């Protein structure tokens, strides 16, 4: 049976030693944080994830969700766990106190989200998507929605979804066919089909609030072939009055649930909207004449898209956290097995001569795979919590310069966190399963489930190739490249902080080489992508990988500096900091060199990729 132990000590290190959150006690939400409170949140949260959610993980995989006579049922134990989850308040840590939440900052809620996903990713998707949905509704909804619907979602009484994808239309939203027609009373009637809707229907709550994007037809009933008429709508499963009272069933039904390779405890639904009552969110669409920009061209998107992208960005960060979670739990189980399983002898001679064989932990390649898991998990956790801190700083920073840097940096790194983190989460899950040999391929140890569950993270909320294109095609050039230039300056400051420290010199030298590769690839893109946009597309995935490796290297240099200082000063827990230094060395020695080959691939251009006619494939 698989196991999981939440990395509470590592979160504590990140909060108080790396990020020093006590210096932000004048920010809302941070003012109530102290070591005692954060220890209580992390400790009790860890206990819930370890004792309630983790035992249901294999149950959810084995039973899956069922669909019969139009009813979707979750696996045994899920509803009871969900009720306990909400009763304990874990679903409302980050919601504002005005909405009935605890008002805690993202750096705390992300920590709990990671623990929950490691314990049971399929389960945590239900409250996770609800959080994204009520956040979007709170930002764009009418006053009555904020007063009488959002609090029910915050409490967990109702759930929420994101309804974006259609059978013929994934990333290219211009092709959407779902439409919404305005009625005399100001509501809309929405028709269409959405697919791959996580938590689209289930038996854990009485009502589900669907956040749906749809096009508004013109006066002739035609749909524009662009984003100009795309709007954002709230569509409840059960209709509600403005006081929040549920009435009759809306025209929203689940047509089927998907038969999937993983996250089987999460219901993935085909949702049919048949003349469903829908409420437009955001400003009323402008008429055709107002839908043109100053140069006379039609605008590419509407105000409704802003609400959708806000919800989507929150979801992308959440999926990136799932990448860390998959790595952490896979690594932990790989370690436990490698310390117990005996096979062969150490290459330098038997380490346990009184036994018939040594534990496989003595073999360098086993350690290589496990150190990849640990160094990625802890490095990515450091970067993700730093970005979550940027979310708060973007609003509450003392100066405009601080706020701007935080907003630019979090915007720049969001596709990296979603794309690179989930690529690596799957890679680590595979490597950890490899430690088990044939036993990893069968169900007994639960490792093959981690691999299957982790694979979806690379696909949904924008496939990772799309994340890479977002980084290269949109984020690098935004605001004249201000965000990436300031981020690079931050990396350079981190390198300077290691000057004069002999212990850190090899680590800094490795990071400097990776950073040089990142700069080289960036310059190549600036010189070549405009000449041929296919060059950007061809380089994007390799470029995102360089960006991720260097960003984690930056965090490891910061953590190594703290660790050397702690060991020099004397500490009650020297083994903790020694492990940090070993992981930092592993990342710089074994992973950072990958930037050189990735940079060569990025600069190879698009010619070979685009050379063959489609028929030649």
**Catalytically annotated residues:** 461
Q: What is the DSSP letter of 18?
A: I
DSSP string covering 262-314: S-TTS-EEEEEEEEEEEEEESSPPPPGGGGB-TTSPBPSB-HHHHHHHHHHHH
Place of tokens 């310069």: 401
HEC per residue, 532-560: CHHHHHHHHHHHHHHHHHHHHHHHHHHHH
Residues 22 and 16 sit within 8 Å (Cβ to Cβ): yes
How far apart, in whole angstroms, are the C-alpha atoms of residue 467 and residue 69?
38
Residues 548 and 384 sit within 8 Å (Cβ to Cβ): no
Which tokens in the block code for residue 315?
A: 């979801």
In angstroms and rounded to an integer, the radius of gyration of the C-alpha atoms of the chain is: 25
For residue 9, give the 3-state DSSP assignment: helix
Terminal C-alpha separation, the chain: 44
Residues 111 and 21 sit within 8 Å (Cβ to Cβ): no
How far apart, in whole angstroms, are the C-alpha atoms of residue 496 and residue 492?
6
- Which letter, b or e, does each residue of 270-296 get, where b requires 16 or more Cβ atoms within 10 Å of its Cβ? bbbbeebbbbbbbeebeeeeebeeeee
Place of tokens 């095609």: 473
How far apart, in whole angstroms, are the C-alpha atoms of residue 118 and residue 381?
13
φ and ψ of 212, to 5 deg: -120, 140
Which tokens in the block code for residue 391?
A: 């979310």
Which tokens in the block code for residue 84?
A: 């306990």
How far apart, in whole angstroms, are the C-alpha atoms of residue 496 and residue 399?
24
Residues 140 and 282 sit within 8 Å (Cβ to Cβ): yes
């Amino acid at each position: 049976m698989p196991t999981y132990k939440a990395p509470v000590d590592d979160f504590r290190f990140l909060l108080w030693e790396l990020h020093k959150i006590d210096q932000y006690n004048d920010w809302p939400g941070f003012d109530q944080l102290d070591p005692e409170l954060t220890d209580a949140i992390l400790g009790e949260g860890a206990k819930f994830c370890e004792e309630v959610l983790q035992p249901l993980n294999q149950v959810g995989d084995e039973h899956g969700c069922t669909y019969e006579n139009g009813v979707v049922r979750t696996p045994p134990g899920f509803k009871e766990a969900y009720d306990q989850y909400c009763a304990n308040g874990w679903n409302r840590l980050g919601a504002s106190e005005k909405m009935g939440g605890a008002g805690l900052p993202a750096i705390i809620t992300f920590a709990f989200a990671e623990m929950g996903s490691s314990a049971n990713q399929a389960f945590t998707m239900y409250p996770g998507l609800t959080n994204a949905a009520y956040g979007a509704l709170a930002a764009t909804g009418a006053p009555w929605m904020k007063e009488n619907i959002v609090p029910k979602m915050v409490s967990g009484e109702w759930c929420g979804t994101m309804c974006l994808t259609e059978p013929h239309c994934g990333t290219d939203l211009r092709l959407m066919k779902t439409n919404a027609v305005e009625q005399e009373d100001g509501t809309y009637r929405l028709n269409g089909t959405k697919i791959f809707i996580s938590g689209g229907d289930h038996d854990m709550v009485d009502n589900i609030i669907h956040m749906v994007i749809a096009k508004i037809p013109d006066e002739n009933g035609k749909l524009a072939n662009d984003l100009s008429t795309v709007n954002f709508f709230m569509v409840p499963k059960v209709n509600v009055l403005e006081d929040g009272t549920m009435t009759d069933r809306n025209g929203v039904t689940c047509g089927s649930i998907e038969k999937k390779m993983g996250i089987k405890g999460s219901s993935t639904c085909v949702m049919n909207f048949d003349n469903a009552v829908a409420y437009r969110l955001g400003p009323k669409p402008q008429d055709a004449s107002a839908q043109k920009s100053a140069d006379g061209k039609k605008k590419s998107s509407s105000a409704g898209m802003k609400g959708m992208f806000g919800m989507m960005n929150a979801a992308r960060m959440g999926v990136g956290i799932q990448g860390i979670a998959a790595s952490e739990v896979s690594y932990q189980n790989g370690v436990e097995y490698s310390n117990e399983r005996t096979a062969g002898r150490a290459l330098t001679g038997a380490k346990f001569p009184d036994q018939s064989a040594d534990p496989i932990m003595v073999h360098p390649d086993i350690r290589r795979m496990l150190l990849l898991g640990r160094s990625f998990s802890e490095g990515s956790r450091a970067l993700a919590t730093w970005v979550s801190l940027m979310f708060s700083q973007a609003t509450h920073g003392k100066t405009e310069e601080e706020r701007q840097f935080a907003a630019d940096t979090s915007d720049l790194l969001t596709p990296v966190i979603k794309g690179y983190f989930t690529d690596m989460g799957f890679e680590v899950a595979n490597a950890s399963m490899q430690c088990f040999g044939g036993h990893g391929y069968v169900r007994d140890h639960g490792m093959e489930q981690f691999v299957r569950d982790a694979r979806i993270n690379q696909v949904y909320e924008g496939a990772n190739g799309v994340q890479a294109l977002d980084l290269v095609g949109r984020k690098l050039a935004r605001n004249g490249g201000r965000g990436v230039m300031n981020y690079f300056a931050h990396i350079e400051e981190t390198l300077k902080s290691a000057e004069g420290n002999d212990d850190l010199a090899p680590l800094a030298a490795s990071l400097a080489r990776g950073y040089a590769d990142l700069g080289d690839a960036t310059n190549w893109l600036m010189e070549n992508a405009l000449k041929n946009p296919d060059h950007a597309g061809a380089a994007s995935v390799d470029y995102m990988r360089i960006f991720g490796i260097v960003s984690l290297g930056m965090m490891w240099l910061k953590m190594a500096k703290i660790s050397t200082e702690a060991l020099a000063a004397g500490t009650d827990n020297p083994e903790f900091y020694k492990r940090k230094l070993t992981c930092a060395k592993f990342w710089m020695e074994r992973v950072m060199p990958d930037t050189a080959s990735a940079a060569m691939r990025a600069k190879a251009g698009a010619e070979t990729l685009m050379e063959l006619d489609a028929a030649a494939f």
